[in-house]
Chain A
Amino acid sequence: MPIKESENGQFKPLIVAFCCNWCSYAGADLAGTSRLSYPADIKIIRVPCSCRINPMFVLRAFQRGADGVILCGCHPGDCHYSTGNYYARRRMTLLFSMLDYLGIERGRTRVEWVSAAEGVKFSATMNEFSKTIHELGENKKLGDLRCKEFLD
Chain B
Amino acid sequence: MQRIFGLVKDKAEKLLADGTVNRVIGWKNGEFFYDQTPAVFSAEDKLDGLVYDGFCASNLSKYLVKESKKDGKILALLKPCDTYGLNQLIKEHRVNRENIYVLGIGCDGMLDTNKIRDKGIKGIEKIEENGDDLVIQTIYGEKSCKRSEALLDKCLCCKGKEHMVYDELLTSDEELPENKSDRFELVEKLEAMTPDERFAFWRGELSKCIRCNACRNVCPVCTCEKCIFDNDNSGIASKANTDSFEENMFHIIRAFHVAGRCTDCGECSRVCPQHIPLHLLNRKFIKDINEFYGDFQAGADAEARGPLTDFTKEDVEPSIVMNKGGNL
With a 10 A CB-CB cut-off, give which of A102, A142, A143 has the most chain B CB atoms. A102
* CB proximity of B207 to chain A, nearest CB, Å: 13
Which of A55, A76, A103, A104 gathers most chain B CB within 10 Å? A103
Q: Tell me the B194-243 residues at the A interface (CB within 8 Å).
A: 195-202, 228, 243
Contacts of B312 in A (CB 8 A): 86
Please name all residues of chain A whose beta carbon is closer than 8 Å to the beta carbon of B285 when the two chains form the complex: 94, 98
Of the candidates B198, B315, B328, the one whose C-beta lies within 8 Å of that of A101 is B198
Q: Give, as a whole number of angstroms, the nearest-CB distance from B261 to chain A.
A: 12
Quick check: A143 and B245 within 8 Å, CB to CB? yes
Q: How far is B318's CA from A110's CA once the two chains are assembled, in angstroms?
A: 7
- B195 near A92 (CB under 8 angstroms)? no
Cβ-defined contact, A101 with B293, below 8 A: no
Contacts of A136 in B (CB 8 A): 328
- Interchain nearest-CB distance for B251 vs A (Å): 9
B249 at interface, CB cutoff 8 A: yes
Count of chain A residues near B, Cβ 8 A? 39
A87 is an interface residue with CB less than 8 A from chain B: yes
Interface residues of B in 252-293 (CB under 8 A from A): 252-253, 255-256, 259, 281, 284-285, 288-289, 292-293
* Bound complex: CA A17 to CA B210 (Å): 34
- On chain A, the residues within 8 Å of B313 by CB distance are 76-77, 86
Report whether over half of chain A's contact residues are helix, strand or loop; otherwise say mixed. Answer: helix
Do residues B249 and A102 form an inter-chain contact, with CB atoms below 8 A? no
Q: How far is the CA of A55 from the CA of B249 in the complex (A)?
A: 10
Q: A55-B253, A101-B284, A102-B199 are in contact. Are A89 and B311 (CB under 8 A)?
A: yes
Whether B196 and A93, one on each chain, are in contact in the complex, defined by CB atoms closer than 8 angstroms, is no
Please, which residues of chain B bring their CB within 8 A of the CB of A62?
Answer: 245
| A90 in contact with B293 (CB, 8 Å) | yes
Given contacts A55-B253, A86-B313, A141-B199, contact A107 B319 (CB under 8 A): no
- Cβ–Cβ contact A93 & B321, under 8 A: yes
> B322 contacts A110, CB within 8 Å?
yes
In the bound complex, do residue B321 and residue A102 qualify as a contact, i.e. CB atoms below 8 Å apart?
Answer: no
Contact A102 B248 (CB under 8 A): yes
Q: Are A90 and B319 in contact (CB under 8 A)?
A: no
B40 to chain A, nearest CB (A): 36
* Known A-B contacts A89-B317, A106-B321; A142 and B248 likewise in contact (beta carbons under 8 Å): yes
Among residues of B, the one whose C-beta sits closest to the C-beta of A86 is B311
Q: When the two chains form their complex, are residues A86 and B315 in contact, meaning their CB atoms are under 8 A apart?
A: yes
With contacts A55-B253, A87-B311, A90-B311 known, is A98 near B284, CB below 8 A?
yes
B320 at the interface (CB under 8 A from A): yes
Enumerate 6 A-B pairs (CB-CB under 8 Å) in ascending A order: A89-B315, A91-B308, A94-B285, A94-B288, A97-B321, A110-B318
